[in-house]
């Protein structure tokens, strides 16, 4: 059993603690991305371009729906990390059980909403008629399993907030292998089609959720889940919402902006949707170092501010930012060079390859900006300043991005104009975050 001292980030070598915490998150996200990509690879090769486009068109819509609840769980993790760093056992337990209660309620709501409003939202996005039926099918089956996805994120959020990133990695590997096996069985062997890819993903999510739950109900630490204690604690709920709501809104508005981007891509036809969808799967790998350092920073900052270790906070923040932008840019350069071959793995259609390559070679060299923005957002969120990244990303990644696309495409109606929305808005958010990081007293006042 992993003891509490090994998961505390408030003691020991800063860089070793951050790396030891971030690497399992990286590997876990890698396996998650692999099994997400497996859907597209298997669908694209065994069913065809229309089916690949159907799976691809639902990606931003899925994140729009689940991003809000994932953000709430992320904010709750900040609360748990704060009390865990301060060694306040009773508060940790109350926060954990309130979060579980919230997750159960959210999973039910998301299931009903996702299944009911799927067709209308896909119509609003301008999903091509050739892929519309398959998109609806994939989306509805995926959201029928929302409870598994939401609770997995809740359980992983609890484990990571106390510094345990090793067990979620193990469970995610098992889930990923399960997903790939089921994909091959349902689609390649049984020929079940697009809906089977969503079914395989849903089953895999429940597997990982149950494994995390087993860990949390058996541990002897203060974050142990006990069924009789699951309830909404009013004061803890207030803290979770105040920290989590901005993160949830942030996720949703980013996804909303990306839905608008997807709508503009849909105008260019099925091959554009398939090509950009293939790139989005590849891009997911480029985001891995960004995601792992963002989560590591949120937990590290939260625990150390809870313990009032302000010197460690500054040093850890600098180290996390440096590692995040360097690794993200190296991955971006790799994708820039090898993108045609990477897209070809999803679909051999020359037009699909061309669209995917065009998008990649427009945005990948700017990954360092994306990493910088996300890492600083994680730092501010860990410091209890979750409103800052929400406002910055609302303005830059939603309002400005949508405005740019709406205006620019009218004057330069080519798909590359749409792609430029990303590096331009990443640049703007990075500048604002840097100013706030250097000028604002974002660390203090945390205890209040």
Query: pLDDT for 416-429, tens place per residue?
Result: 999 999 999 999 99
**Is there a domain that residue 422 lies in?**
yes
Looking at residue 420, its pLDDT comes to 94
Is the residue at 408 inside a domain?
Answer: yes
- So what's the pLDDT on residue 37? 67
Give the distance, in angstroms, between the CA of residue 12 and the centroid of all CA atoms in the same chain. Answer: 29
Q: Quick one: 80 exposed, middle or buried, by C-beta within 10 A (0-12, 13-18, 19+)? A: buried
Q: Which pLDDT does position 3 carry in this prediction?
A: 45
pLDDT tens digits, 149-197: 889 889 988 998 888 888 888 988 888 888 888 888 887 777 777 777 7
* pLDDT mean across residues, the chain: 83
Predicted confidence at residue 46, as pLDDT, reads 58
Place of tokens 């009773």: 90
In this predicted structure, the answer to whether residue 392 has a pLDDT above a threshold of 90 is: yes
In a domain, 102, yes or no: yes
pLDDT of residue 58: 55
* pLDDT score recorded for residue 287: 82
The answer as to whether 1 is a domain residue is: no
**Residue 267 banded pLDDT, cuts 50, 70, 90:** confident
| The pLDDT of residue 2 | 43
Structural domain tally of the chain?
1
CB 293 within 8 A of CB 326: no
Whether the per-residue pLDDT at 109 is higher than 90: the answer is no
Q: Has residue 79 been placed in a domain? A: yes
- Of 55-69, 220-234, 312-326, 425-439, the poorest mean pLDDT is in 55-69
Q: Print the SS3 string covering the chain.
A: CCCHHHHCCCCCCHHHHHHHHHHHHHHHHHHHHHHHHHHHHHHHHHCCHHHHHHHHHCHHHHHHHHHHHHHHHHHHHHHHHHHHHCCCHHHHHHHHHHHHHHHHHHHHHHHHHHHHHHHHHHHHCCCCCCCHHHHHHHHHHHHHCHHHHHHHHHHHHHHHHCCCCHHHHHHHHHHHHHHHHHHHHHHHHCCCCHHHHHHHHHHHHHHHHHHHHHHHHHCCCCCCCCHHHCCCCHHHHHHHHHHHHHHHHHHHHHHHHHHHHHHHHHCCCHHHHHHHHHHHHHHHHHCHHHHHHHHHHHHHHHHHHHCCCHHHHHHHHHHHHHHHHHHHHHHHHHHHHHHHHHHHCCCCCHHHHHHHHHHHHHHHHHHHHHHHHHHHHHHHHHCCCCHHHHHHHHHHHHHHHHHHHHHHHHHCCCHHHHHCHHHHHHHHHHHHHHHHHHHCCCCCCCCC
pLDDT of residue 52: 62
Residue 447 included in any domain: no
Domain presence at residue 2: no
User: Over the stretch 300-340, which tens digit does the pLDDT of each residue have?
Assistant: 998 888 888 888 989 999 999 999 999 999 999 999 999 99
**Residues of the domain holding 287:** 8-439
Residue 222 has pLDDT above 70, yes or no: yes
pLDDT > 90: what percent of the chain?
A: 27
Residue 152 covered by a domain: yes
């Amino acid at each position: 059993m992993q003891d509490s001292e090994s998961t505390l980030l408030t003691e020991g070598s800063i860089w070793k603690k951050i790396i030891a915490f971030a690497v399992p998150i990286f590997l876990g996200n890698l396996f998650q991305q692999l099994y997400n990509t497996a859907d597209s690879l298997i669908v694209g090769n065994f069913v065809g371009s229309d089916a690949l486009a159907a799976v691809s068109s639902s990606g931003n819509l899925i994140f729009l729906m689940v991003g809000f609840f994932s953000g709430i769980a992320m904010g709750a993790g900040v609360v748990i990390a704060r009390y865990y760093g301060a060694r306040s056992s009773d508060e940790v337990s109350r926060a954990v059980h309130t979060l579980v209660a919230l997750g159960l309620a959210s999973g039910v709501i998301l299931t009903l909403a996702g299944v009911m409003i799927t067709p209308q939202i896909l119509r609003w996005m301008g999903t091509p008629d050739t892929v519309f039926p398959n998109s609806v099918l994939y989306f509805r089956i995926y959201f029928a399993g929302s409870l598994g996805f939401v609770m997995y994120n809740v359980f992983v959020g609890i484990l990571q907030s106390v510094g345990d990133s090793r067990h979620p990695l193990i469970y995610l590997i098992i889930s990923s292998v399960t997903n790939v096996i089921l994909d091959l069985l349902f689609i390649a062997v049984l020929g079940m089609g697009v809906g089977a890819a969503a079914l395989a993903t849903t089953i895999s999510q429940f597997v990982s959720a149950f494994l995390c739950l087993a860990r949390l109900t058996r541990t002897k630490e203060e974050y142990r889940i006990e069924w009789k204690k699951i309830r909404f604690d009013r004061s803890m709920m207030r803290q979770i919402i105040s920290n989590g709501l901005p993160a949830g809104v942030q996720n949703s508005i980013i996804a909303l902006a990306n839905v608008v981007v997807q709508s503009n891509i849909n105008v260019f036809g099925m091959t554009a949707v398939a090509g950009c969808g293939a790139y989005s799967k590849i891009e997911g790998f480029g985001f891995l170092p960004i995601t792992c350092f963002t989560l590591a920073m949120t937990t590290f900052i939260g625990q150390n501010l809870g313990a009032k270790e302000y010197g460690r906070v500054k040093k850890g923040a600098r180290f996390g930012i440096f590692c995040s932008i360097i690794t993200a840019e190296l991955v971006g350069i790799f994708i820039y060079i090898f993108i045609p071959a990477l897209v070809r793995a999803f679909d051999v259609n020359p037009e699909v390859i061309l669209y995917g390559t065009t998008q990649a070679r427009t945005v990948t060299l700017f990954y360092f900006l994306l990493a910088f923005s996300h890492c600083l957002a994680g730092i501010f969120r860990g410091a209890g300043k979750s409103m800052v990244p929400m406002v910055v990303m609302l303005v830059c990644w939603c309002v400005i991005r949508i405005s740019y696309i709406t205006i620019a495409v009218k004057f330069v109606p080519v798909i590359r104009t749409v792609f430029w929305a990303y590096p331009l808005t990443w640049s703007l958010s990075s500048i604002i975050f840097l100013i706030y990081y250097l000028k604002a007293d974002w660390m203090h006042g945390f205890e209040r």
